Amino acid sequence: MARINSPVGEGQRNLYGDVRTIQTLLNKNSVITRPGNLLAEDGKIGPNTIARIRLFQEKVVRMRNPDGVIDPNGVTMRNLTLHANFHTTVNRTTRVPGITQEQFVQAAATLGCEVAAIKAVVYTESPRGAFDEKGRPSILYERHYFHKLTGGKYDSNPVLSNPTAGGYGKYSAQYGKLEEAMKLDKNAALRSASWGAFQIMGNNFKEAGFSSVDDFVKAMGTLQGQLDAFVRFIANNAHRKNALINKNWASFAYNYNGPAYRKNNYDNKLAHNYQKALSE
């Protein structure tokens, strides 16, 4: 994960390597950067770089008074690192945004299941799409995971840490909660959200084939990364794999979504979306 050693911005030391790191991260952010307006990654601070820092602070960090300064451990740096991993171009030409039929076919061949079965998971897990309007992976923050992973020591903030599942709030509120939780315990926070088209929990990063949750989150920045993680997550668990192959939706729901799957009718949603995928 990218780091800087000293503050960057107006009136700061602005070491060459630090400035260049910030310029690269700013260029990767799809909210404030478009083809044709990339910053020169020359390691030199100047009005364009400072203006882009302020724009990022305004549009993404939501600072009321952007100061144009990035501290190594500050909120702007955390957001830059997090959001830069999610810079992607989303292809919206298929029913599942960005995932091509060829990708589905390859994944199904690897798992030995039907294409429609994989599509059913996507339709059920991410009806809004694999990415949000800012180009970040769709997430759902799970406060009860954060409670469990941190031993309940942050339960004084029940929105972020709570022994009871729920309290999800609006779709647009998920990243705000994640970022607040990251200030308390970054590793636990990233593990406490489900990510991307398949909504795999960060806590399952090992089963999805990653050595760290940071590597898992970075992979969530591309559709292929999300699909590859799903394939490994299924392949590494015989119960999930067999249930998907046999279209045993109750068993799949239990092993993929947990024992509370009946509360939200998850198995029936999968069955319905499988039939929908077959008809396409």
Give 201-250 pLDDT, tens digit per residue.
999 999 999 999 999 999 998 899 999 999 999 999 999 999 999 999 99
Classify the C-alpha dihedral 130-132-137-143 as positive or negative: negative
Q: How far is 112 from 117, CA to CA, in rounded Å? A: 11
Q: pLDDT tier at 92 (50, 70, 90 boundaries)? A: very low
- What local confidence, expressed as pLDDT, does residue 118 receive? 96
Amino acid at 143: R
Nearest 5°: the CA angle 143, 147, 151 is 170
| Exposure class string for 151-172: b at 16+ Cβ within 10 A, else e | eeebeeeeebbbeeeeeeeeee
Cα pseudo-dihedral 270, 273, 277, 280, rounded to 10: 170
Instruction: Give the pTM.
Output: 0.69
pLDDT of 280 above 80: no
Mean pLDDT of 91-109: 70
Alpha-carbon gap, residue 166 to 183, rounded angstroms: 21
Band (33; pLDDT cuts 50, 70, 90): confident
Most confident of 26-40, 65-79, 103-117, 234-248: 234-248
Residue by residue, DSSP assigns 107-171 as: HHHHHTS-HHHHHHHHHHH-TT-SB-TTSPBPEEE-HHHHHHHTTTTTTTSTTT--SS------G
Q: Which residue has the higher pLDDT, 31 or 49?
A: 49
Residue the block writes with tokens 């994960």: 1
Domain segments of the chain: what residues?
Answer: 8-84, 101-278
| pLDDT at residue 91, rounded to an integer | 34
Percentage above 70 pLDDT, the chain: 93
Does residue 200 register a pLDDT over 80?
yes
